[in-house]
Amino acid sequence: MKRLAIVGCLLLVLGGLGWWLYAHFDYVYEDRALPPRGQASYDPLYAASLTLNAYGVTTQVRPYLDIRDLKPAGGDTIVYYGDIRTLSATQVWQLSRFVFQQGGHLLVQLPHDGKLGDVPLLDTFHLRAAAHPECAYYGVDPDDKKDSVMLCGADVIQGTAADFDYAAGTDGSLQYVQYSQGKGWIAVVSDMDFMGNRRLKDPAAQALMLRILQPRPGQGRMLLIYSMDSEGLPLLLFRYGWPVLLPLALCLIALLWRVAPRFGPPLPVAAEPRRSMLEHVRADGEFLWREGQAHALLEAVRADMLLTLRRRHPAASRSKSRELLDSLTAITGLPRVQVRRALGQDGSDVKEDFTQRISTLIDIRKHL
């Protein structure tokens, strides 16, 4: 009974909690825009291409302007979304030939930084631009700002509306111009961002794009050049490849750590072999002194002195101890007591006055 009561209480609590959650909370659906994927992540004219395809217009999208690859014909329209200052002289000549001789259509935009400088493309088509930031609304109906698109550009076209076939803006600072050149026409807009993927979802932006491009299904292609500026392989690897590069770098470091030689503590520099006889003699003397063999050192110096005496004074060398002492005292002129102590005839300990005895024996040898 006790277990059943506990189970019943738990079920009652869980049921009450479920009823409270159901009464106070509702399922809510929320739409979130996902980041673009695939071509839409790097092609700003991807939405424009889909929009034109929906109108039955054939489009081709390229990241770079290559006339040989595009092979444009009369009636085609080239939309150059990049910076017209980067066009080479060859590309400018190809675009002018496409407009003047082939009857093509060209749409370009002015730079957005207010630094025009020398723009060969504008010079070829006899256009003049100036830095003049200005914003205005443009659309199918200029008086309806609700269904218009606001264009903001740092550069504008100089001239009046009467100088062009179509123009938008105030005289002297036009933000959109279009006029015929040879067999074709060219259009210049100060700001082409309304054709980008984010803004083209606005119906007003779509209407403005169609008004400028004037697409005709089956009578020409739309060649969209978005002029992708590559950031370089090292920067792309650093920005997008670090999830793979970082583990590989750690594995490489671990491999190098494993195969690298292990270095212990630094060893002292090995002493060069010494060949000096004096160093060997001094080392032998120091060794005998540490071992308590001072008498051996004294006997060696005494024997050397006696050998010199035998060579230079044979008669004196054959004398007995007392006569030898008298002979050395007479020859060297040193005190008798000092010579006697050096010869060891006083019976004293060798360690007493060891240095003095050695010095006396050397002096005796020098006087012989």
Q: What pTM was estimated for this model as a whole?
A: 0.56
SS3 at position 169: strand
Distance between CA 281 and CA 333 in Å, rounded?
30
**C-alpha distance from residue 61 to each of 53, 94, 150, 190, 368 (Å):** 12, 18, 26, 22, 116
**Could you tell me the domains of the chain?**
39-225 (3.40.50), 278-367 (no CATH)
Report, as an integer, the average pLDDT of 225-245.
Answer: 72
pLDDT digits (tens, 9 = 90+) for 141-166: 656 666 677 777 777 788 887 888 88
Sign of the torsion formed by the C-alpha atoms of 8, 11, 17 and 18: negative
* Residues making up the chain, counted from first to last: 368
Contacts of 178 (CB under 8 A, 6+ apart): 164, 165, 166, 167, 185, 186, 187, 188, 212
Q: What is the pLDDT of residues 162-205, one digit of tens each?
A: 888 888 777 777 888 888 888 888 988 888 888 888 888 888 88
Alpha helices in 191-232 (DSSP H): 203-213
Q: How confident is the model at residue 251 (pLDDT cuts 50, 70, 90)?
A: very high
